[in-house]
């Protein structure tokens, strides 16, 4: 898409809305059975791409991006994937340096990297803290060995907790652990043990996601062949309530349907940019971006990504300009999921009467039951 341009009207207020940078690292040591993210193992890539060639492409993309929209300092940076920690501390330091040299960083920027517990160490976290990272997000998924096996996760059950403690010891005030619930074979006791481990780690943020069987994954093939049962909706709802109850009792409260934080300062500011309609530049293979109602996405394969950038062209694979109605619907879908809720509106009363929404001043906020039915709430509000 060599002729990609951002319409002038999309840039009118750019820099006045929250702005972040997302970096997609497409490399993984192994492929988890449930994952349908744009990631590649070394065997899948062969010699067509490498972390080194990806880094060169990233430098070019961020330079072209800052040239196109202006060097607006990023309020947040989020390095995701994939497994960013496979880049090592030096690689992740370089990533952040590239953002500084192109868009720039706001003085109080939140800088997060995802990490696989198995590819971290005390020195890794110490180097990241010194480089300017402020937040660590660790994939834990479960503390139960048999659940991790079903998910094809390679880390040992206790490693995520140890990594969280190492990050805190290195000076990170903000550490997140990710959980997945509803895996076939998981019991209430398994989830309680995972929550015990999370709370014992002393983190200030937890993300918990219901297992989704994505088409084309190894997990989906096992479910289709009858080797594993599909997740049960009633069980997923019960597990969500179990998570919310345990975390709330420990002082971590929901601020988005799938996210809990110790206090307002522990909330993930980068994700709030997504949920509250801000702007972000998404860099890396398959990354998505949004500025002023224009959304675009990059080519997926790392080799094509770097080849396109080597030719001096942004690696954009497609884009769409959202209409005002599109933007309003999208903003409703996202903002209704956060604890701040949405502005009161006509037609909400039946949902209030049904116990799915409650009024807090001039805001509508999901009730505990409403969080389990957030998609249905959006459908009714947008009808």
Phi, psi of 223 (to 5 degrees): -65, -40
Domains of the chain in start order, with CATH, are 8-275 (3.20.20.70), 324-383 (1.10.10.920)
Confidence of residue 306 (pLDDT cuts 50, 70, 90): very high
pTM summary value: 0.95
Quick check: 273 pLDDT over 80? yes
Q: Which residues of 61-90 are buried (b: 16+ CB within 10 A; e: fewer)?
A: bbebbbeebeebebbbbbbbbbbbbbbebe
Quick check: 155 pLDDT over 90? no
- Residue-level pLDDT at 327: 93
Instruction: For 242-251, write each residue's pLDDT tens digit.
Output: 999 999 999 9
* Residues 313-329, mean pLDDT to the nearest whole number: 95
End-to-end CA distance of the chain: 35
Sheet holding 363-366, edge to edge: 342-343, 363-366, 357-360
* Residues 22-36, mean pLDDT to the nearest whole number: 86
Weakest mean pLDDT among 40-49, 162-171, 255-264? 40-49
Instruction: For 109-129, write each residue's pLDDT tens digit.
Output: 999 999 999 999 999 999 999
- Residue-level pLDDT at 2: 57
SS3 state at 11:
helix
Q: Please, are residues 21 and 103 in contact by the beta-carbon 8 Å criterion?
A: yes
- Residue-level pLDDT at 152: 86
Closest CA to 56 of 341, 257, 315: 315
Confidence of residue 335 (pLDDT cuts 50, 70, 90): very high
Beta partners for 289?
296
- Residue-level pLDDT at 125: 98
Quick check: 96 pLDDT over 80? yes
C-alpha–C-alpha distance, residues 91 and 146, integer Å:
33
Quick check: 1 pLDDT over 80? no
Q: Please, are residues 366 and 336 in contact by the beta-carbon 8 Å criterion?
A: yes
Phi, psi of 132 (to 5 degrees): 120, 5
* Residues 306-318, mean pLDDT to the nearest whole number: 96
State the DSSP code for 265: G
- Contacts (Cβ under 8 Å, ≥6 apart) of 74: 19, 20, 21, 99, 103, 104, 105, 106, 109
Instruction: Count CB-CB contacts under 10 A for residue 130.
Output: 12
Q: In whole numbers, what is the pLDDT of the chain averaged over residues?
A: 94
C-alpha–C-alpha distance, residues 312 and 383, integer Å:
45
Handedness of CA 68, 71, 76, 81 (dihedral sign): positive
Alpha carbons within 13 angstroms on the beta-carbon side of residue 151 total 26
* Residues 72-78, mean pLDDT to the nearest whole number: 97
Quick check: 267 pLDDT over 90? yes
Closest CA to 366 of 326, 324, 320, 333: 333
> What CA–CA distances, in Å, run from 327 to 22, 289, 337, 338?
21, 14, 16, 17
C-alpha–C-alpha distance, residues 32 and 220, integer Å:
12
């Amino acid at each position: 898409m060599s002729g990609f341009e951002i319409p002038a009207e999309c840039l009118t207020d750019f820099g006045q809305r929250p702005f972040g940078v997302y970096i997609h690292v497409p490399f993984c040591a192994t492929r988890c059975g449930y994952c349908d993210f744009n990631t590649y193992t070394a065997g899948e890539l062969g010699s067509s791409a490498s972390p080194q060639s990806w880094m060169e492409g990233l430098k070019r993309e961020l330079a072209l991006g800052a040239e196109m929209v202006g060097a607006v300092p990023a309020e947040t940076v989020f390095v995701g994937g994939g497994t960013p920690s496979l880049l090592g501390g030096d690689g992740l330091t370089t990533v952040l340096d590239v953002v500084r040299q192109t868009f720039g960083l706001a003085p109080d920027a939140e800088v997060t990297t995802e990490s696989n517990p198995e590819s971290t160490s005390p020195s890794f976290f110490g180097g990241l803290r010194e480089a300017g990272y402020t937040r660590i997000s660790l994939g834990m998924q479960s503390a139960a060995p048999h659940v991790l096996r079903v998910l094809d996760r390679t880390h040992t059950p206790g490693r995520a907790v140890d990594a969280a403690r190492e990050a805190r010891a290195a000076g990170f005030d903000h550490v997140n652990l990710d959980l997945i619930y509803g895996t076939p074979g998981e019991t209430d006791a398994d989830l309680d043990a995972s929550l015990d481990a999370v709370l014992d780690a002393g983190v200030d943020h937890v993300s918990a996601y219901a297992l989704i069987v994505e088409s084309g994954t190894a997990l989906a093939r096992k479910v289709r062949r009858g080797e594993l049962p599909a997740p049960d909706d009633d069980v997923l709802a019960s597990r969500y309530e179990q998570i919310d109850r345990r975390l709330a009792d420990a002082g971590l409260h929901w601020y988005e349907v799938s996210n809990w934080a110790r206090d307002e300062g522990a909330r993930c500011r980068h994700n709030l940019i997504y949920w509250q309609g801000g702007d972000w530049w998404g860099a890396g293979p398959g990354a998505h971006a949004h500025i002023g109602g224009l959304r675009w996405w990059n080519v997926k394969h790392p080799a094509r990504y770097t080849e396109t950038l080597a030719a001096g062209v942004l690696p954009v694979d497609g884009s769409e300009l959202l209409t005002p109605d599109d933007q309003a619907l999208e903003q409703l879908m996202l903002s209704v999921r956060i604890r701040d809720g949405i502005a009161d509106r006509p037609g909400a009363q039946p949902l209030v009467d049904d116990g799915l929404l409650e009024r807090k001043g001039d805001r509508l906020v999901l009730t505990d039951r409403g969080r389990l039915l957030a998609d249905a709430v959006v459908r009714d509000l947008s009808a």
